[in-house]
Amino acid sequence: MPCMDSSGEMTAEARKILAAMSGGVPLSVVADMTGLPLYRIRSAARELAEAGLAEEKNETYMATEAGRAALAAPPRQA
């Protein structure tokens, strides 16, 4: 599941996942909050971390400062 579209913008699903991570929660909780399967959450968490938008600490994931800024910015219109 790509978290970024061809223009480098976060997908709607990635925004939803990152928003659920903003409180620093385990991935199973993110899955419960979003209604998405855990395997998709794990994949997205890796991609978001590689992009510097999320980080893992003590088996919980949270949005980084860059991730919070990306969530605060309105999504670009196509």
Per-residue model confidence as pLDDT tens digits over 3-62: 777 777 888 899 999 999 988 899 999 999 999 999 999 999 999 999 999 999 888 999
Question: Counting every residue, how long is the chain?
Answer: 78
- Please report the pLDDT score of residue 77 as a whole number: 65
- Measured CA to CA, the distance from residue 57 to residue 40 in angstroms comes to 19
For residue 1, pLDDT over 70 is answered with no
Residues 72 and 10 sit within 8 Å (Cβ to Cβ) = no
Q: Report the domain count for the chain.
A: 1
Between 70 and 22, whose confidence is greater? 70
- Which residues, 6 or more positions from 25, have their beta carbon under 8 angstroms from its beta carbon? 33, 60, 61, 62
Residue 63 lies inside a defined structural domain of this protein: yes
- Please report the pLDDT score of residue 67 as a whole number: 92
Residue 2 lies inside a defined structural domain of this protein: no
Specify the DSSP element, H or E, that contains 55.
strand 54-57
Task: Write down the pTM of the prediction.
Answer: 0.86
59 Cα distance to chain centroid: 15
Residue 49 lies inside a defined structural domain of this protein: yes
Residue 6 lies inside a defined structural domain of this protein: no
| Residue 17, domain CATH | 1.10.10.10
